[in-house]
Amino acid sequence: MQTTKMSVRTISRRQMLKLVGLGGATAALAACAAPAAPAQQPSAGQAPAPAAQPAAEGMTGDLRVMVCCATPSEEPLRNKFNADFEAKYPGVKIVPEILPAGQGYFEKLQTMMAANTLPDVFDMWEGYVQPYAANGALRPLDDLIDGDDQIKRDDILPVIIPAQSWQGKSYAFVYGFMPGPVSLYYNVDHFEQAGLQPPTPDWTWNDVREAALKLHVAQGDKVERYGLSFDNWFVTWQYMIWSNGGDIFNADETKTTITEPAAVEAVQFWYDIVNKDKVAVDETAYQMLGGSMAKVFAGGMIAMRLGNYWDLGELKETKGANWRAVLSPKSNIGQRVWYMHLGCWSIGANSKMAPAAWAYARDFVLQRPIDSVTPYIPPLKSLMSTFTGPDHEQLGYGALPEIVAQPGVLRIPGAGEKFDKIQGLIQAELDLAFTGKKSVAEAMAAAAPKVDEELARRA
């Protein structure tokens, strides 16, 4: 049930960084930069590099840029951005620090923070900005934002402000975001063969279930085609719970609410598609099929896939696959609340190159260097028209900017840095449920006291 070998296993936000780097897909999860490379001549129709600017205080010296998991398709674009930045600011030399795929990015940051050796500008992620700011690791950006004539406060999308802020100040600058799981991918041929109308953005979970029952093809115990696949991990089950009106924590994040009916019933619905209807890829099928479920879907063995934007790389690599996508379905109460994936930059609290670090983050936002391969929604209203591309009709992304501007549609995890452990505690129990060893209610009841204990632990 997973895009990588993580079906019914614990997967953390830190591990997501590893997965993207290993996958080589066209989409990255986090704000990453690649090594500087020699400046290239602009191709036809490409804007020339910006003219060099005179050096100023904080604009002369090495600029340490901490990055993670840049995908192969992004690397030349990031190289070009870095080279152009150095040409524009000749006093600055970019010194990239790139972690290999599979190395713990936030573990590395924690070590650097303890040693007071944080980079000048580095990747941050949803849910991490606030605890890092509280620990004094991040520089407030408000003076840099307010002093910049290229960025206007009222141009920043309201939906991203809470994610990049702590106690009323900005500690990160989002360069792009996407919902998760954003898409219901579907095989056009399978729908036509079954005599079904294709999905729409207004589909509910019931619609998905009914279609999966009709699209699933089996002869006895031999499955010829699965009706559905989805990923059993925290992004998906938070989308399920939030969309059904439930939550993971109470308002002040002192207790978990995963045993409440809205949470249990949400996960139970999808559990039933796997274990009662038996029309979705389960753990046994996952092991048999092996590898990426996005690739298996593209190969025609799965009719529908509830997935994420980084599935696109493998979908596009599969020649002849006749698929399209719509936005992921609404719950049966008519709500759709997504996990918010962020790409954002922060500046180290003690950086002596803060002006250069800010210029790097700002230019990355304004120039959109990786948009051609990574479909992020931009953070500025004035840039919203750039969220277009030849794939957007096929992907059903057209309505996204308007939808995500609505209050409550996007959320980030609660509990700050404790969430990594908490999601693992919940995931371990849900793994047992989805493999049929206990009910969803039993799994949530078993996880709840462990989550409460972690919430009560002093950071």
- Residue 209: its pLDDT value, please? 99
**Crossing angle for the helix pair 440-456 and 419-434, nearest 10 degrees?**
170
CATH of domain 183-338+413-456: 3.40.190.10
pLDDT for residue 89 is more than 60: yes
User: Stretch 194-205: mean pLDDT, rounded?
Assistant: 98
pLDDT for residue 305 is more than 50: yes
pLDDT for residue 290 is more than 60: yes
User: Stretch 205-217: mean pLDDT, rounded?
Assistant: 99
Q: Token pair of 135, please?
A: 């620990």
pLDDT for residue 38 is more than 70: no
Q: Which of 28-32, 229-233, 350-354 has the lowest mean pLDDT?
A: 28-32
Mean pLDDT, the chain, as a whole number? 87
Segment 114-145, tens digit of pLDDT:
999 999 999 998 888 999 999 999 999 999 99
- Residue 218: its pLDDT value, please? 96
Please name every residue paired with 407 in a beta bridge, in sequence order, or none if there are none. Answer: none
- Residue 313: its pLDDT value, please? 76
Cβ atoms 153, 367 nearer than 8 A:
no
pTM for the full model?
A: 0.83
Please name every residue paired with 162 in a beta bridge, in sequence order, or none if there are none. Answer: none
Closest to 237 in 3D by CA, of 48, 20, 447? 447
| Fold match between domain 13-180+340-402 and domain 183-338+413-456 | yes
Angle at 414 between CA 162 and CA 381, to 5 degrees: 25
Cβ atoms 93, 61 nearer than 8 A:
yes
- d(Cα 185, Cα 329) in Å, to the nearest integer? 11
Segment 373-427, tens digit of pLDDT:
778 899 999 999 888 877 787 888 988 988 998 999 999 999 988 998 999 999 9
Give the percent of the chain with pLDDT over 70: 86
Cβ atoms 95, 353 nearer than 8 A:
no
**Domain layout of the chain by residue ranges:** 13-180+340-402, 183-338+413-456
Please name every residue paired with 280 in a beta bridge, in sequence order, or none if there are none. Answer: 228
Q: Which of 28-42, 151-165, 326-340, 426-440 has the lowest mean pLDDT?
A: 28-42
Under CATH, what is the fold of the domain 13-180+340-402? D-Maltodextrin-Binding Protein; domain 2 (3.40.190)
